[in-house]
Each structure stands twice: as structure tokens, then as C-alpha cells.
Amino acid sequence: MKIEILDLGINNLSSMVRSIENNSRDYDQICVVSELSEIKDAELIVLPGLGHYQAGMRALEESGLSKYVKDYCENGTRIVGICLGMQLLFECSEEAPGIQGLKILEGVVKFLPSTESVPNIGWDEVKIRQESVNFSSLEKGKDFYFDHSLCATEIPDEVVLTETPFGESHFISSVLNGNVLGFQFHPEKSGKIGQSLVGDILDWARSFD
């Protein structure tokens, strides 16, 4: 399987690459790309991210990778967004008024409630909302590592994969819509259970073959 990890210059890249390498198979081809000339017809595109929404979208637009991601997504290529990478899949974000996201998924990104401790940094549980045979690691009741101040909202119920308690409420912590996956938390920073999830993600991507 051809796996391309997008480098936006603001990504948490090294740990993501290492995590995928640790769960890959001998025949997998893993490539880090930062511009269109490096593209090699991926079967799985990984969009990791740490940083500001506007900086992420600017990097995608200036490199030409935004159109690449959208076009390949429409053609059935598997897309995975992690943290900011997940947020960029949606329509827009309160963090960057007037900046359009990739619009691959329906929904908007908003700040977490100021009545709680923000940013939300540390280990939190995820609760399954959409049953899936592909992600058994999410059903084990384990905590995953979060580091964020915003979350995706106004998402169709059928797209929500997991949610996470937050004070007296909750936020959407992962989504699944056909060939598109998004995780607000960091599987690559979540220890053994995170490694198990990365393995699930790669198996999910292979299941489209």
C-alpha cells in the first residue's frame, strides 16, 4: 500500500512517521510529501497536524496539496486527519474566521467551552458511537492522548465514530465517513493502545482493496 504523510511544516511529523513504520508491512511504501512534485498516487493519505488552522490551510493551498487531497478523496483514496489535520477536513474554524477548510466533511470547528480547563491536554477516554469492525482498539475502554483547544461540531450523527466526556458535556473525538477518518486525539502519542489503533487504521485502509 502506498502511504503518503503530508508535511505542512507545522506537523507533529516524526512520531507519526515512526508509528506508521512500526505498523506497516514489508510491501508498504511510506513517503513524506510537502509539494505536488513528490506525489506518487497514494492509497492512504495521512494529514497530521499541530498548530494554527490558518497556517495549516495556507500550507495546503500554497503547496497545491489542498486540491490534491480533495481530488483523491473524491476518487476513493483513504484520508486520515489527526488533531489539526482532522479539523482541516471540515468547513471552517473559529480559530481562523474567514478561512475555508477543505470541506471534505460537513461541520465546523469551534473552541472548547471556556468554563472548562482549556487547552485540553492529557489522557481521556473515548466512547464508541458508531460500531465498526475495523477499530477494535477503540472498544477497549482505554484512554488516548489529547492536546487541543478546539473541536469539530455540527456533524451528522452517522459520521461520529467516538465522543469524549468534557466537564458536564462532551466533544466529538473521531469521525468516520466512507473513506475519510479523523481523530482529534493523537494515536501516535497514545502508547500501546495508540499503536494498536494505528494498526487498525492501516488495516482499514487495506480493506478498500
The catalytic residue positions are 83, 186, 188
Residue 143 pairs in a beta bridge with 125
Q: How far apart are CA 155 and CA 50, in angstroms?
A: 22
Evaluate the CA torsion angle 142, 148, 152, 153 in order and state its sign: positive
Question: Please, are residues 153 and 184 in contact by the beta-carbon 8 Å criterion?
Answer: no
What is the DSSP secondary-structure string of the chain?
Answer: -EEEEE--SSS-HHHHHHHHHHH--TT-EEEEESSGGG----SEEEE---S-HHHHHHHHHHHTHHHHHHHHHHTT-EEEEETHHHHTTSSBBTTSTT-B---SSS-EEEEPPTTS-SSEEEEEE-EESS--TT-GGGGS--EEEEEESEEEES--GGGEEEEEEETTEEEEEEEEETTEEEESSBGGGSHHHHHHHHHHHHHHHHTT-
